[in-house]
Amino acid sequence: MSSSGTSAAPVDSAAEAADRPVEAAPVEVPESFTVTLIVRRYDPEVDDEPRWVDYDVQMYQTERILDALHRIKWEQDPSLAFRRSCAHGVCGSDAMRINGKNRLACKALVKDFDISKPIYVEAIKGLPLEKDLIVDMEPFFDSFREIQPFLQASGKPEKERHQTIAQRERFDDTTKCILCAACTTSCPVFWTDGQYFGPAAIVNAHRFIFDSRDEASQVRLDILNDREGVWRCRTTFNCTDACPRGIQVTKAIAEVKQAMLTGVKL
């Protein structure tokens, strides 16, 4: 057949094409399901002891434990108390224990859990419980403040303080900390001895100890050489497993111990 025998599809002018209704792309409706959350509730004004309370929540594939908690608070029980701010893994305010493991509620997708079983949600351990999923973070921040988490350098540079790429990389991992406390409150040593500085404080000390511009490394090493300092660490790796930023927490603690023993910041 010659090409002249085929009928070519009519070509619209740009104006005609613009007028034609656009065929909608098929939209996949998210699958919804019911999940049971069992939340450890505690109201100091009413309860002698914390109590577990069940909630059935309608959820979608893409939603997180934080969305489930919002739904409970907005639709079932406005008295439920928990902290959150950014809702995107940046502020570190919603660390909680979910099915026995410390996580950020805003990064824990419901579909990643076995939704045929209830999901247990409770406050992080080792810090004083204030209400429901809220703990008193002051002891945690006291330890953080104690290690002097700020750059200490003398002299006034003409412009900036120079640092090579390799020097910056030396402490890159520990700059990622968002102070969520997931590591410290997953540490069995911290559970039994709340005086222990804990992984997060050591991570933040590491960030400055290995900074080539800082001049107070020895001060921080001396602080962490204390009875309640790095030597309490038993290398259980709970902290590394719990860190939502993927920081090699146990490695950072080992490097601080090494610097203490050798005086060398490798």
Q: Can you give the binding site for ligand SF4, defined by CB under 6 A?
A: 92, 177-183, 199-200, 203, 242-243, 245, 247, 249
Return the structure tokens found at 81.
Answer: 């108390």
- Rank residues 69 and 202 by Cβ distance to ligand FES and give the closer one: 69
- Rank residues 70 and 245 by Cβ distance to ligand SF4 and give the closer one: 245
Q: Give the closest residue to 211 by CA, choosing from 257, 260, 166.
A: 166
- Rank residues 177 and 189 by Cβ distance to ligand SF4 and give the closer one: 177
* Residue 86 binds ligand FES, judged by CB under 6 A: yes
**Interface of this chain with ligand FES, residues 88 to 127, rule: CB under 6 A:** 89-94, 104, 106
d(CA 144, CA 220): 11
Q: Which does 106 bind (CB under 5 to 8 A by kind): ligand FES, ligand SF4, none?
A: ligand FES
Q: How far is the CB of 106 from ligand FES (least distance, A)?
A: 3
DSSP three-state, residue 32: strand
Q: Which does 243 bind (CB under 5 to 8 A by kind): ligand FES, ligand SF4, none?
A: ligand SF4
Mind giving me the DSSP string for 237-257?
-HHHHH-TT---HHHHHHHHH
* Residue 64 binds ligand FES, judged by CB under 6 A: no
d(CA 230, CA 92): 23
* Residue 87 binds ligand FES, judged by CB under 6 A: yes
Phi, psi of 129 (to 5 degrees): -75, 130
- Rank residues 204 and 217 by Cβ distance to ligand FES and give the closer one: 204
Q: Which residues contact 239 (CB under 8 A, 6 or more apart)?
A: 183, 184, 186, 187, 199, 249, 250, 253
Q: How far is the CB of 65 from ligand FES (least distance, A)?
A: 10
Q: Which does 183 bind (CB under 5 to 8 A by kind): ligand FES, ligand SF4, none?
A: ligand SF4
* Residue 81 binds ligand FES, judged by CB under 6 A: no
Asked whether 266 and 254 are in contact (CB, 8 A), the reply is no
- Rank residues 118 and 198 by Cβ distance to ligand SF4 and give the closer one: 198
Asked whether 56 and 36 are in contact (CB, 8 A), the reply is yes
Q: Which residues contact 173 (CB under 8 A, 6 or more apart)?
A: 247, 248, 251, 252
Interacting residues with ligand FES (CB under 6 A): 84-87, 89-94, 104, 106
